[in-house]
Structure 1
């Protein structure tokens, strides 16, 4: 007769306890890893937020720098006096219709354009170009002069180009959309004028003329005075 003294049960119980302890340790490790992963995700989210904030600050800083540069350029560029206050220096000799400074005559105004193939004429340079020719930067005073000027510019688009950008003497307040001189004729290109606080430096007006007269994306536009165009429209009153 075999006598059971409980020693075998003690061995089984010991194994169960060891396995239970291992399982508990594994569960504890898994829980710790889960907490670590959760903490890492939270840290990653914070870093991403910081990165987004830095990116936003960097963009705002770039915009601020651009605005400051534009304002500096505008302050260094002589500003055109509104037409109703300015005195145009008239030529001392009578102009002939075929003279260099009267390529187009509308009423008592002679127009001529100085056009380059490259886009390298900012507004300050445009002022100098006309001034050296005893002229002022030209205006579009009514629909008749606007159409005549556009047709004249279209015929003088340089070879190798299908369109040109030409400075005019018109200015605009992007905050109010008021133009100077107030009696200027403006046939805005689709999407223009650029207005509002984000475009507060877009004060100068230029003409976009395409070789194709049916291209609807041409007309009068506004931009910063440092914008590079192909040239300038000049005028002399006769």
Structure 2
């Protein structure tokens, strides 16, 4: 008897929901043929929504969608130059050594600390790096993957490269044997003279790093 009463009680509610006229933009969940579904403007408003299929394909699709979105975020290009992809990670304090940069760049689709291949790329990166300067700072310094050893600028692969001398900070590159790693400084004021490359010891702490993905 109690079961019959329950059915009689639930049936009018389901009927009311089925006939309910929803305001524009509304999303309501209800039971239809024993399945939980959503009606109204649900596809846009709801992060997770149900369909009448119960074969598990919707769950698989949602998992794949979440994984694809994560991969797109990790592999996002902030600067593209000659098919190469660059992305900077910047902090508001000097807390990153060169050795910190390597594993984090690698986590970005097996990326690496970036090379600066020529003057054109360097000039393209400066305004991007300025846009990354955190509030309260007037400039940032980021690691690249390049090295300076035995009076020679080297790519991360170890191959030699030359770049316009005007990109270097005055008195840089330094010839100290410990100053093996190269970075870029970008000032919030594009007219400021301190937009430059430098070479520091890899254990020095600076604001971030530039990755090549």
Tell me which interval the TM-score lies in, with the shorter structure as reference length. Answer: 0.5 to 0.7
Gaps of at least 5 residues in structure 2 are: 1-67
Q: Which protein is richer in strand relative to its size?
A: 2
- Distance in 2 between the 1:97 and 1:220 partners? 30
In the superposition, the TM-score normalised over structure 1's length comes to 0.54
How many angstroms apart in 1 are the aligned matches of 2:87 and 2:211?
5
Residues 126 and 195 in structure 2, CA contact (< 8 A), matched pair in contact too: no
Distance in 2 between the 1:121 and 1:101 partners? 21
**Corresponding residue for residue 143 of structure 1:** 119
Matched with 2:161 is 183
The answer to whether structure 1 residue 128 and structure 2 residue 106 are counterparts is no
Across the aligned residues of Structure 1 and Structure 2, the Cα RMSD in angstroms comes to 2.1
Cross-structure match for 1:221? 198
CA contact 1:165–1:207 (8 Å) conserved in 2 = yes
- Kept in 2, the 8 Å contact 1:122–1:228? The answer is yes
Give the structure 2 partner of residue 161 of structure 1: 137
Q: Which has the larger radius of gyration?
A: 1
The 8 Å contact of residues 190 and 217 in structure 1, kept in 2 or not, is answered as no
**How far 1:150 sits from its partner (Å)?**
1.2
1:118 lines up with 2:93 in the alignment: yes
Structure 1 stretches lacking a partner, 5+ long: 1-92
Structure possessing the higher relative contact order (Cα contacts under 8 Å, 6 or more residues apart): 1
Q: Distance in 2 between matches of 1:100 and 1:226?
A: 27
Q: How many residues align?
A: 137
| Residues in 2 aligned to 1:192 and 1:214: alpha-carbon distance in whole angstroms | 20
* Runs of 4+ off more than 6 Å: 96-99
